[in-house]
Amino acid sequence: MLSLFPQILWMAPFSALVLRLSMTVFLGTSAWRHLAREGALSRTLSGVEIILAAALFVGAFTQAAALVTAILCAALLVFPRLRAAPRSTVAFALVISLSLLVTGAGAIAFDLPL
């Protein structure tokens, strides 16, 4: 299929960077909200989200972090009391994490493609 704007195809590797940064924002805000709650489970969940956000931000172990994030988002969809964001936002984060699992880190990351 012909591209409508072939001049911008060089920016394709940066799409994964944008996805990684959006997941970082989602995980960071979710961690902040979980940290404000009381309970050991919320605090533990907050710590996991902070570690995942940091890994995705720098692009280290991106596919492993995306896999754990997908599992976390699926758990948040199943258990509504753990959710710190609307169901649609968590579902969208699940789709983004699965996309990162398939595509990899993209540009500006510590992960190197094999």
- Residue 38, CA distances (Å) to 43, 46, 84 in order: 7, 11, 13
Residue 30 near residue 24, CB atoms below 8 Å: no
Share of the chain above pLDDT 90, in %: 71
Give domain limits for the chain: 14-103
Q: Is the pLDDT of residue 46 over 90?
A: yes
Distance CA 18, CA 64 (A): 18
- pTM score, whole prediction: 0.89
Residue 52 near residue 65, CB atoms below 8 Å: yes
Residue 63 near residue 104, CB atoms below 8 Å: yes
